[in-house]
Amino acid sequence: MHGRVAEWRGDPTARNAGRLTLNPAAHIDPFGTVLLPIGLLLMSQGRVAFGYAKPVPVNPYFLKKRGDMTLVALAGPLTNFAIALVVSLAGMLVHLFGVSAVSQVGAFEIGISEPYALLYMVVVINVFLGVFNLMPVPPLDGSRILERFLPASARDAYERIEPFGFMIVFMFLYLFGDLFFRLLHPLWAFLGGIMGIPSGLL
């Protein structure tokens, strides 16, 4: 989505690099897509895994206006939030047609039914990615938005953080991950409620 918005605003870099495609192979980053998730799975004994795709190339000098970089940066998180909302509404429609969101054994609710569990996982992942990418740490999208409002001198110093950006993010999640997920839970629960999932199961 970043590449599409960048092209709309005048930058052909992503298209020229072959990145405006749904082919996953074009977006694989050896570390972020392969080594990082495997490493996290091994270190967490299968409990935690996430990664990232190869960053979409954007050349701000081709963009029509200085503020267009903010639009490009917002494209990713807004897409994540839109997917989460659409999937929640799809779950609500399924619920309205009488499909239960709850698995039961007799009179006992034992968990979320499989179709809803899959839909809810899509919601959880996309909300997490949307908020995560809005963090103002280079090279995440939030940093591109913040840069728009920084004076030139501060912008140069800010950009020098980028080589250490993911290290900063990982340290933040290691130290404050529980708090981060607790803050996200009300939003997850709200969207799960739209789908008809009882709050006690979320």
Q: What is the pLDDT of residue 158?
A: 87
Q: What is the pLDDT of residue 108?
A: 57
Q: What is the pLDDT of residue 122?
A: 92
Q: What is the pLDDT of residue 48?
A: 63
Q: What is the pLDDT of residue 106?
A: 58
User: What is the C-alpha separation between 183 and 134, in angstroms, rounded?
Assistant: 15
Q: What is the pLDDT of residue 191?
A: 92
Q: What is the pLDDT of residue 197?
A: 84
pTM as predicted: 0.82
pLDDT tens column, 40-96:
778 767 766 677 778 788 888 888 887 888 899 999 999 999 999 999 999 898 888
Q: What is the pLDDT of residue 135?
A: 92
Residues (pLDDT < 70) of the chain are 44, 47-49, 104-110
Q: What is the pLDDT of residue 90?
A: 92
How many residues in the chain? 202
User: What is the C-alpha separation between 88 and 86, in angstroms, rounded?
Assistant: 5
Q: What is the pLDDT of residue 105?
A: 60
Closest alpha carbon to 19 in 35, 3, 42, 39: 3
Pairing of strands 102-105, 108-112: antiparallel
Q: What is the pLDDT of residue 130?
A: 93
Q: What is the pLDDT of residue 89?
A: 93
